[in-house]
């Protein structure tokens, strides 16, 4: 029985001189029908998400769900502890005293929203992702300091020269093809 081989995938990496050139090239490549592209730069690019065609962020919804979960948890916890489990009449205050519970309710809502945003972003970004084949390119190291890169996935078994020529025509200063296994 033959061992199963993992298919090799390839990406075409192109470096651009300016952020505007990167965003413009990304938009034009998407209009030509390329999908699954990604941009790399030392800082977030204005218009980069729109050029990639990314959907609106789901982070506000995640924050709302986390905040509401914290609110419900705080109110349920305080109701249980103060009115059912261990009721104490201190200073004549009622057992169900919502105004006195505002600080804890607020703090727990903020805490749960923050945890929701943190773990939600990890999940949405598919992090941690310690390895991707494009990281193997020696020139790609400039993406964290001063480089503006576009990664275009190439179809399995297809020649990358067409994509390379298109990226060069769009103003890429350097174009490389990287192959590797897709996880």
For residue range 104-159, what is the model confidence (pLDDT) as tens digits? 999 999 999 999 999 999 999 888 877 778 887 888 887 888 889 999 998 777 78
Cα 84 from Cα 59, distance rounded (Å)? 36
Residue 47 lies in a domain: no
Q: Of 53, 40, 48, nearest to 24 (Cα)?
A: 48
Does position 94 have pLDDT exceeding 90, yes or no? no
Domain annotation covers residue 100 = yes
- Of 65-69, 89-93, 128-132, 173-177, where does the model show the most confidence? 65-69
Number of domains in the chain: 1
pLDDT at position 6, please? Answer: 59
pLDDT of residue 62: 97
Q: How does residue 1 score in pLDDT terms, banded at 50, 70 and 90?
A: very low
| Radius of gyration, alpha carbons of the chain | 25
Tell me which residue range forms the domain holding 99. Answer: 59-124
**Residue 152 φ then ψ, to 5°:** -115, 120
> Among the listed ranges 93-97, 99-103, 111-115, 153-157, which one has the minimum average pLDDT value?
153-157
Residue 64 domain flag: yes
What is the model's pLDDT at position 183? Answer: 57
In a domain, 142, yes or no: no
Q: Are the beta carbons of 52 and 25 closer than 8 angstroms?
A: no
Whether 165 is in a domain gets the answer no
Average pLDDT, the chain: 89
* Sheet strand arrangement including 8-16: 38-40, 148-154, 8-16, 174-181
Distance from the Cα of residue 58 to its chain's centroid:
10
> Is pLDDT above 70 for 25?
yes
Residue at 152 is within a domain: no
pTM of the model: 0.73
Mean pLDDT, residues 82-109: 90
Could you tell me what percent of the chain has a pLDDT over 90?
A: 60
Residue 181 lies in a domain: no
């Amino acid at each position: 029985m033959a061992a199963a081989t993992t298919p090799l995938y390839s990406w075409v990496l192109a470096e651009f001189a300016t952020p505007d050139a990167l965003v413009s090239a990304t938009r034009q490549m998407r209009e030509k029908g390329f999908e699954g592209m990604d941009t790399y730069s030392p800082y977030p690019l204005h218009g980069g998400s729109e050029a990639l065609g990314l959907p609106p962020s789901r982070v506000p919804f995640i924050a709302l769900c986390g905040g509401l979960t914290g609110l419900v948890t705080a109110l349920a916890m305080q109701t249980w502890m103060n009115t059912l489990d261990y009721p104490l009449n201190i200073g004549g205050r009622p057992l169900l005293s919502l105004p006195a519970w505002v600080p804890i309710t607020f703090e727990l809502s903020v805490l749960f929203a923050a945890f929701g945003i943190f773990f939600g972003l990890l999940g949405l970004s598919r992090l941690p992702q310690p390895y991707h084949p494009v990281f193997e390119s020696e020139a790609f190291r400039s993406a964290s300091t001063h480089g503006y890169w576009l990664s275009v996935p190439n179809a399995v078994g297809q020649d990358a020269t067409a994509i390379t020529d298109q990226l060069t025509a769009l103003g890429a200063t350097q174009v490389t093809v990287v192959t590797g296994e897709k996880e």
